[in-house]
Amino acid sequence: MPNIKSAKKRVLVNATKAAQNKAAKSALKTDIKKFEAAVTEGNRSEAEGAYKVAVKAVDKAVGHGLLHRNNAARKKSAMTVKLNKLA
């Protein structure tokens, strides 16, 4: 355990931020899984709605620094290909 006041604060702030990042990543994964489930089901209209939500979540994750922009682009591209194959 740190002795210096600023180091103690860093430990607390880092724990809080780690919890926020974990929750945000979990929500992102949930949105992507909902899209995947809709595609697997073959439901085009549900998949389109889930696609919009998932893409928005991926873009937000990039803005918050949770994902690298190239990783996000790869995820969005893969989702788009899957959505287009449903047609």
Give the pLDDT band (50/70/90) at residue 54: very high
pLDDT of residue 1: 81
Query: Domain coordinates of the chain in residue numbers?
Result: 5-85
pLDDT score of 87 more than 80: no
Write down the residue that tokens 């899209």 correspond to. 35
For domain 5-85, the question of CATH label 1.10.3720.10 is answered with no
| pLDDT, tens only, 3-30 | 999 999 999 999 999 999 999 999 999 9
- 24: nearest Cα among 66, 79, 87, 71: 66
pTM (2 d.p.): 0.86
Which residues are within 8 A (CB) of 57 and not within 5 positions of it... i.e. 6 or more apart? 27, 28, 31, 32
